[in-house]
């Protein structure tokens, strides 16, 4: 299939099992890696496992009681959907717990010398401001490699940029197969034994290849995936509060910090599209990147696992990308993922895929069927207003007996989830995102009933959308309607009770339903508030970093420290005032390497009381060399500190000779 092909791989050796010692909590096994030198820690929490077992046992008892003692047969149209929601929720929690029962953390040996590595950067319509950091960072990675930009946009400016910096430029006459087709078209034009793939907005750290190539000492390893981290910490999916191990929390933290290490335990960690290295022989054996679905990365990994190959998840961030800045690109991305999952479930169901073992089947099924979990979430949102408006009970027993059974079941579930996820899934933050995604998940589920051809939609990368804070609420129309119904029905129920209305809802059952509706309305209100209060952002993100800088204006010279810095501008604090439009010369002094010389125009000078003035400036005619220095400073020297927590996992390996 590819030039320089080294022959079809005869098949990987069987997966080596890690020792799974049973200690109380934390590290429970350390595997020396046998002949490959790969070390593996098995991590588990006995407390989380105990609470999970208790929840599953109590839940089974609760569902038995719900099924045979509470169903309102006089109103099946409201009672049966709620019972179905209870069963689906319990089922998906079981899958969730299966994936998180234990997880692994791996350490690679130093990379062997002489490997041939190709770096692929697929791009379509991303602006050069997004693409440049990725290309320059890829070129600067340690360990010999060749960097290819795969431009499906066929843009002259991208071709010129590649020629200027030393990257190789590849394109094709059409865009068939989108990103997957783009990669497949590049395979015959390249020959590296290993292929590192980065999305156009994911800039790798300099040790990316050094830390990951050692895993391929095991000839059965086809894929090494690292987490996807994001440098724009003011994005829609980020929280100001820290998350797991002190790292920045974002909506995908639970996936990369907990779920993927859990899947790795079962040899089911899959390719996430970027920040990964693939063995060419394995990719060729399965026919290249699969184009059957828009979830080409997961599907391709599943086919490699079915062919007997192994994967590794390296639990340390080694690249940074751009998270969706605003609500619309966030929803576009999540809808594509959900639709791809439903396509895969319908066209190549993991439970039926030959070659996978039972653990891999369950792991992959969980990764695609998660969309269906939003059916019970939608039912739980819709039920309270229906019950309060119609006065029809979904259960024949919604009094104290219900509360005594339901509350322990519910609280045990919350506690088990908290312990299994290690705090990466904060309850209210997670629930807000679940409510946000309900509509797009239901749209994706419709593919199971009404199959249709999907078009790969690239996630918009630009920041600072033109929508006003209030206009963005149009994306929440459905949620706001449901929230309004919940609030109105809660008021209706309370007023009706005060007026002595005669209906089935009285006492505990009435107040349980009112509380339920009020909670849903409050959750949707918090979601709308978080969307409306999103602050305006720059087109190019500024890193909140502190780097010495010397500012000169004529004979005036001032030493300062940056408050923020990007490839387009910077900010600093000054004891003196600058007029807007003033031209200044800058000497940025990074901790390593030579100074970065630039000129800039003052765009902001705001008094901050006794501390002086906050000054903002934009670079003017930044030279290419200075821009390159700035990019490498920001994305390879400073960005790692923003995504790595103190004492985070991972070991830096030396460069092979």
Cβ pair 231, 543 in contact under 8 A: yes
Cβ pair 505, 393 in contact under 8 A: yes
Cβ pair 200, 126 in contact under 8 A: yes
Token pair recorded at residue 452: 């249709």
Identify the CA nearest to 120 among candidates 160, 171, 157, 164. 171
Helices (H), 316-426: 327-347, 358-369, 374-390, 400-421
Report how far residue 604's alpha carbon sits from residue 596's, in angstroms, rounded to the nearest whole number: 22
Of 86, 118, 257, 297, the catalytic one is: 297
Report how far residue 141's alpha carbon sits from residue 202's, in angstroms, rounded to the nearest whole number: 13
Report how far residue 157's alpha carbon sits from residue 655's, in angstroms, rounded to the nearest whole number: 34
Angle subtended by helix axes 358-369 and 327-347, to nearest 10: 140
Distant-in-sequence, close-in-space partners of 654: CB < 8 Å, separation ≥ 6:
110, 210
Of 86, 118, 151, 152, the catalytic one is: 152
152 is catalytic: yes
264 is catalytic: no
Report how far residue 621's alpha carbon sits from residue 619's, in angstroms, rounded to the nearest whole number: 7
Q: What is the sign of the dihedral through the CA atoms of 165, 168, 172 and 173? A: positive
State phi, psi for 297 to the nearest 5 degrees: -70, -50
Cβ pair 115, 194 in contact under 8 A: yes
Report how far residue 218's alpha carbon sits from residue 443's, in angstroms, rounded to the nearest whole number: 42
Identify the CA nearest to 485 among candidates 533, 520, 526. 520
Report how far residue 119's alpha carbon sits from residue 163's, in angstroms, rounded to the nearest whole number: 16
Residues designated as active site: 152, 297
């Amino acid at each position: 299939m590819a030039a320089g092909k080294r022959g079809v791989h005869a098949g990987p050796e069987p997966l080596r099992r890690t020792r799974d010692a049973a200690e109380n909590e934390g590290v429970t096994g350390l595997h020396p890696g046998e002949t490959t030198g790969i070390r593996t820690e098995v991590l588990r929490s006995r407390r989380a496992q105990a609470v999970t077992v208790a929840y599953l046992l109590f839940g089974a008892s609760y569902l038995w009681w719900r099924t045979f003692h509470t169903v309102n047969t006089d109103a099946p149209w409201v009672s049966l959907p709620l019972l179905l929601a209870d069963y689906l929720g319990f089922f998906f929690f079981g899958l969730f717990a299966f994936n998180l029962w234990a997880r692994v953390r791996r350490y690679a040996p130093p990379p062997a010398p002489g490997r041939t590595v190709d770096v692929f950067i697929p791009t379509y319509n991303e602006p050069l401001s997004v693409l440049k950091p990725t290309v320059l960072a890829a070129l600067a990675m340690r360990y010999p490699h060749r960097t290819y930009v795969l431009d499906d946009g066929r843009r002259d400016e991208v071709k010129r940029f590649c020629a200027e910096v030393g990257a190789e430029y590849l394109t094709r006459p059409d865009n068939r197969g989108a990103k997957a087709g783009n990669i497949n078209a590049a395979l015959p034009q390249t020959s590296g034994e290993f292929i590192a793939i980065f999305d156009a907005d994911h800039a790798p750290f300099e040790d990316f290849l050094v830390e990951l190539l050692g895993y391929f000492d095991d000839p059965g390893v086809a894929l090494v995936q690292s987490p996807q981290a994001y440098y724009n910490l003011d994005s829609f999916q980020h929280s100001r509060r820290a998350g797991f191990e002190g790292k920045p929390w974002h909506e995908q933290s639970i996936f990369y910090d907990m779920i993927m290490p859990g899947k790795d335990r079962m040899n089911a960690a899959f390719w996430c599209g970027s920040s990964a290295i693939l063995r060419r022989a394995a990719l060729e054996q399965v026919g290249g990147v699969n184009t059957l679905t828009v979830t080409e990365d997961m599907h391709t990994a599943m086919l490699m696992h079915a062919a007997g190959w192994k994967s590794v998840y390296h639990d340390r961030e080694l690249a940074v990308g751009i998270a969706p800045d605003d609500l619309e690109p966030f929803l576009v991305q999540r809808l594509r993922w959900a639709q791809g999952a439903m396509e895969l479930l319908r066209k190549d169901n993991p439970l039926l895929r030959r070659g996978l073992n039972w653990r891999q089947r369950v792991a992959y099924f969980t990764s695609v069927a998660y969309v269906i979990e939003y059916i019970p979430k939608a039912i739980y949102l819709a039920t309270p207003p229906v019950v309060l408006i119609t006065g029809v009970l979904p259960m024949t027993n919604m009094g104290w007996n219900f509360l005594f059974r339901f509350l322990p079941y519910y609280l045990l579930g919350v506690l088990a989830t908290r312990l299994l996820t290690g705090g990466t899934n904060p309850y209210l933050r997670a629930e807000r995102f679940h409510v946000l995604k309900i509509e797009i998940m239901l749209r994706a589920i419709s593919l199971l009933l009404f199959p249709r051809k999907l078009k790969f939609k690239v996630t918009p990368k630009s920041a600072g959308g033109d929508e006003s804070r209030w206009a963005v609420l149009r994306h929440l129309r459905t949620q706001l309607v449901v929230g309004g119904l919940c609030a109105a029905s809660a008021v209706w129920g309370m007023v009706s009770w005060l007026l002595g209305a005669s209906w089935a809802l009285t006492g505990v059952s009435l107040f349980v339903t009112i509380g339920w509706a009020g909670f849903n309305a409050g959750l949707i209100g918090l979601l709308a508030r978080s969307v409306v209060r999103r602050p305006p952002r720059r087109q190019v993100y500024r890193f909140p970093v502190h780097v010495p800088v010397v500012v000169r204006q004529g004979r005036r010279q001032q030493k300062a420290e940056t408050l923020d810095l990007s490839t387009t501008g910077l900010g600093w604090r000054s004891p003196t005032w600058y007029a807007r439009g003033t031209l200044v010369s800058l000497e940025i002094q990074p901790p390593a390497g030579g100074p970065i010389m630039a000129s800039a125009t003052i765009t902001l000078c705001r008094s901050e009381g006794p501390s002086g003035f906050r000054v903002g400036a934009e670079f003017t005619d930044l030279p290419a060399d200075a821009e390159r220095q700035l990019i490498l400073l920001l994305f390879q020297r400073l960005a790692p500190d923003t995504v790595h927590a103190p004492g985070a996992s991972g070991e830096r390996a030396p460069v092979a000779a």
